[in-house]
Amino acid sequence: MTEPSQVGSEQAPPRTVGPLWVISLFLGLSEVTVAIATTQATGWIQAMLAIFAVAFPVLVSSVFFILLWRNNKVLYAPREFADGTTVHDFVDAMSGNTRRSASIVESTFQSLTTRLEAHLEALGTTEAQRTEIIDWVGNAARSAVVTVHLSVFSQDPRSMQVPIDESTTVTELLDAVYFAIFDKVSNFSYSKTWLLRDTTTGHLFDHIGRPYARRHLGTDRDFRLLAEVGIEPGSTLSAVRLPPSGLD
């Protein structure tokens, strides 16, 4: 999943019959069968079938919503991983992407600054002092993330912010970016159809990801630390398209 080989403008792969369809089909057939049986039965058997017809969908729906809330990755069909992606890689990337939601980062920061401003005001600080402290906190918070501009792939002008620390790896960053643009690129297409570029220096990170890991590290995933490849906390990157021929 780290690097998704074709641009999303090409024909999409055929849809797969996933667990959701299986659950729906199972429920539908069960209800039809029980309904027919209920009309043919009498007495206490008919009453039990009627109770089952009502209780069974409620029970299945409850379990489904618990799964959807707590463990939604199990609802994806294995064929949806595609192109050699393992279930382990998919689950790991899905979980990492959830933890790194840009909206959560932004809303948390806004909430913290609002509370901080209220506390500072209660302490009797001046407006200038509050502004200086909040700006300092904001800069410190933003230095703990990597900002990635996705405007080339999305009409939404907002950027995504990926929280990182000293243990964050290249594959974790690429997974997070991929899941933000997965409908525009294919699996394992990093360095083939798209790259990350440092917006300050213009440097293209063309020696990271799956192709580099396979050639030089003997693995399918690039587990080097971000600092090893020159990506530091506070960095601002852009996801850019490559020409059809890829890298020269």
Domain match, 193 and 117 both: yes
CATH number of 129's domain: 3.10.20.90
pLDDT for position 195: 95
In this structure, the answer to whether residues 126 and 44 fall within a common structural domain is no
CB contact set of 197 (below 8 Å; sequence gap of 6+): 203, 204, 205, 237, 238, 239, 240
Crossing angle of the two packed helices 127-142 and 102-122, in degrees rounded to 10: 150
Cα–Cα distance, 94 to 73 (Å, whole number): 7
According to the model, what pLDDT value does residue 224 have? 95
pTM: 0.51
pLDDT tens per residue, range 137-174: 666 666 678 889 998 887 766 688 888 888 889 999 99
Inside any domain, residue 196: yes
| Per-residue pLDDT tens listing for the chain (248 residues) | 555 444 444 444 445 555 666 677 777 777 788 778 778 878 778 778 777 776 776 677 666 665 555 555 555 555 555 555 555 555 555 545 444 455 555 566 666 667 777 777 777 778 888 788 777 766 666 667 888 999 888 776 668 888 888 888 999 999 889 888 888 888 888 999 999 999 999 999 999 999 999 999 999 899 999 999 999 988 999 999 998 765 55
CA dist., res. 22 & res. 20, Å (int): 5
E runs forming strands in the chain? 145-149, 160-163, 194-198, 236-241
Domain boundary residue, one of 33, 49, 75 = 75
Domain tally, the chain: 2
Residue 211 lies in a domain: yes
Compute how many other C-beta atoms are within 10 angstroms of the C-beta atom of residue 139.
10
Q: Range of 154's domain?
A: 93-241
Q: Are residues 100 and 156 in the same domain?
A: yes
One domain, residues 102 and 52:
no
Residue type, 192: K
Residue 37: predicted pLDDT: 79
Q: Quick one: 66 and 189 in the same domain? A: no
